[in-house]
């Protein structure tokens, strides 16, 4: 992605005193004079910042402003090891709300809408981001937080919610409940805004059909504000990323080389205006590509990232072959008799790795034949034959947060 003059000027402005303000970057760029970064090629030679570096700065080592300027912290979900703490200044909090309000606007949401917010509030950036954007836009926030499906449905009906915000997993759970109870005609839902979880085409379609909504996908991560740094417009799945706040690069995850627009790789982000904890070339481990060309909406100043295909750390290595959950999802897509939900279990038995895939059927299906056909198709796609078992719709667990689909039982 070509750095625009405006973006590069913002970067150079930060670089002037970055090492004075940030002990973290003073150390990281110890042997580098940031004044020497004058071309895009110079910028692309700067070392990446990785999540591991941020963990080492725990608790407040990332702060690039004096204590009195920090108004809030958030923390990324540390499922393993030390969490990452991100400090925010007043401007950071406002900038985040501006970006989130812009997301809602791109989705055609206005101050007449009622937005039911189910992502969690607290250390996690999700709920509060959806809320701040909603208030900035002037819409009515219904701050439910996660869980309590009974109450969610009651409020959705009584408050005549028009916009539902959730992880894709929870939106599916809600869509299935709405269908089970036959209450779709009591709802006023028009739009769904999801974030923080990659979702395949099939699950999207089931949610769209189940709730009768337009589907919008938000991008973001705690390290870089939170959800809200981009959203798809009504013309497609690509997400416009706000180029006045974030600079996007796509790199080869193995070599670190910057890839041309259109090629798939890992998303690397640089913040352009963040004060509390600026990030330079942060490796997200999310896999996508920059969609080349122009978008029909005309907002070409904000480049588009394609639907995420997964995370570089989702990769499963089996029989020496790299497999991504997205590949399994693509296969499921080819079988109309299969539904969206699946679970992969990898184990080590009798000296060799084995992969079992459980997939829910969408209706009546010849179970034995579907399993056999799927296994055969999988072999040609991933190079080995998994054990496939087709199960009833609703057999696999549903989640109010993110559904865990891969269980590696080898270790
Ligand atoms: Zn567009």
From the CA of 237, how far away is ligand 1's center (Å)? 9
From the CA of 374, how far away is ligand 1's center (Å)? 36
pLDDT digits (tens, 9 = 90+) for 177-192: 999 999 999 999 999 9
From the CA of 172, how far away is ligand 1's center (Å)? 25
Alpha helices by DSSP H, listed for 34-118, are: 40-43, 51-56, 90-106
Whole-number pLDDT of residue 190: 98
d(CA 164, CA 153): 11
Q: What domains lie within the chain, and their CATH numbers?
A: 89-311 (3.40.50.12780), 315-408 (3.30.300.30)
Residue keyed to tokens 């055969």: 376
Overall average pLDDT of the 367-379 stretch:
95
326 pLDDT exceeds 90?
no
d(CA 58, CA 354): 38
Tell which wins on pLDDT, 72 or 82: 72
pLDDT digits (tens, 9 = 90+) for 275-301: 999 999 999 999 999 999 999 999 999
- pLDDT band of residue 79 (cuts 50, 70, 90) is low
From the CA of 206, how far away is ligand 1's center (Å)? 23
Q: Poorest-confidence range of 127-141, 310-324, 375-389?
A: 310-324
Alpha helices by DSSP H, listed for 44-121, are: 51-56, 90-106
From the CA of 99, how far away is ligand 1's center (Å)? 16
Residue 44: burial class (beta carbons within 10 Å; 0-12, 13-18, 19+): middle
Instruction: Please identify every residue whose CB atom is under 5 Å from ligand 1, which is an ion.
Output: 233, 235, 295, 297
Give all strands of the β-sheet with 282-288 in edge-to-edge order: 246-251, 265-271, 282-288, 310-311
Return the bridge partners of 74, or none. Answer: 86
Whole-number pLDDT of residue 140: 98
From the CA of 35, how far away is ligand 1's center (Å)? 36
Entry field: residues in the chain: 411
Phi, psi of 176 (to 5 degrees): -70, -40
From the CA of 252, how far away is ligand 1's center (Å)? 26
From the CA of 232, how far away is ligand 1's center (Å)? 7
DSSP 8-state secondary structure symbol assigned to residue 314: G
Residue 140: burial class (beta carbons within 10 Å; 0-12, 13-18, 19+): middle
Whole-number pLDDT of residue 198: 76
Give CA separation, 25 vs 20, 34, 91, 244, in Å. 9, 11, 21, 22
**277: its two tokens:** 């904890």
Overall average pLDDT of the 329-357 stretch:
92
From the CA of 11, how far away is ligand 1's center (Å)? 26
Residue keyed to tokens 């390290």: 223
342 pLDDT exceeds 70?
yes
How far is residue 35 CA from its own chain's centroid? Answer: 34
The answer to whether the beta carbons of residues 310 and 198 sit under 8 Å apart is yes
Residue keyed to tokens 């990323």: 241
d(CA 271, CA 243): 10
From the CA of 307, how far away is ligand 1's center (Å)? 13
pLDDT digits (tens, 9 = 90+) for 221-278: 999 999 999 999 989 779 999 999 999 999 998 899 999 999 999 999 999 999 999 9
From the CA of 402, how far away is ligand 1's center (Å)? 27
For the chain, give the mean pLDDT: 94
From the CA of 299, how far away is ligand 1's center (Å)? 6
141 pLDDT exceeds 90?
yes
Radius of gyration of the chain (CA): 22
From the CA of 298, how far away is ligand 1's center (Å)? 6
- pLDDT band of residue 57 (cuts 50, 70, 90) is very high
From the CA of 164, how far away is ligand 1's center (Å)? 21
């Amino acid at each position: 992605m070509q750095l625009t003059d405006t973006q590069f000027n913002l970067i150079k402005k930060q670089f002037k005193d970055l090492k004075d303000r940030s002990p973290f970057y003073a150390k990281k760029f110890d042997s580098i004079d940031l004044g020497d970064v004058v071309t895009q090629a110079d910028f692309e030679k700067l070392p990446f910042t990785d999540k591991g570096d941020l963990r080492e700065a725990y608790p407040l080592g990332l702060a690039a402003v004096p204590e009195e300027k920090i108004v809030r912290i958030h923390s990324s979900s540390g499922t393993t090891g030390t969490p990452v703490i991100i400090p925010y200044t007043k401007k950071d909090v406002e900038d985040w709300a501006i970006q989130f309000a812009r997301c809602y606007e791109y989705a055609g949401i206005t101050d007449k809408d009622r937005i039911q917010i189910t992502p969690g509030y607290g250390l996690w950036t999700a709920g509060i981001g959806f809320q701040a954007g909603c208030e900035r836009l002037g819409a009515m926030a219904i701050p439910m937080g996660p869980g309590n499906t009974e109450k969610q449905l009651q409020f959705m009906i009584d408050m005549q919610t028009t916009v539902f915000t959730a992880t894709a997993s929870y939106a599916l759970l809600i869509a299935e409940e709405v269908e089970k109870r036959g209450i779709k005609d009591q709802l006023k839902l028009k739009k769904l805004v999801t974030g923080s979880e990659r979702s395949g085409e099939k699950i999207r379609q089931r949610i769209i059909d189940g709730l009768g909504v337009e589907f919008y996908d938000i991008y973001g991560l705690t390290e870089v504000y939170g959800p809200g740094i981009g959203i798809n417009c009504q013309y497609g799945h690509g997400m416009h990323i706000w180029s006045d706040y974030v600079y996007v690069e796509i790199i080869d995850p193995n070599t670190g080389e910057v890839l041309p627009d259109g090629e798939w790789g890992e998303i690397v982000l640089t913040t352009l205006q963040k004060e509390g904890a600026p990030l330079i070339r942060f490796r997200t481990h999310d896999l996508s590509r920059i969609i080349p060309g122009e978008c029909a909406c005309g907002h070409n100043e904000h480049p588009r990232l394609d639907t995420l295909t997964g995370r570089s750390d989702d990769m499963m290595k089996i029989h020496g072959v790299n497999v991504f959950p997205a590949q399994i999802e693509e296969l499921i897509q080819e079988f109309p008799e299969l539904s969206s939900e699946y679970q992969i279990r990898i184990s080590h038995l009798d000296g060799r790795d084995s992969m079992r895939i459980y997939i829910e059927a969408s209706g009546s299906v010849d179970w034995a034949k579907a399993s056999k056909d799927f296994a055969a198709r999988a072999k040609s796609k991933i190079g080995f034959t998994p054990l496939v078992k087709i199960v009833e719709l609703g057999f696999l667990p549903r989640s109010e947060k993110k559904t865990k689909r891969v269980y590696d039982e080898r270790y």
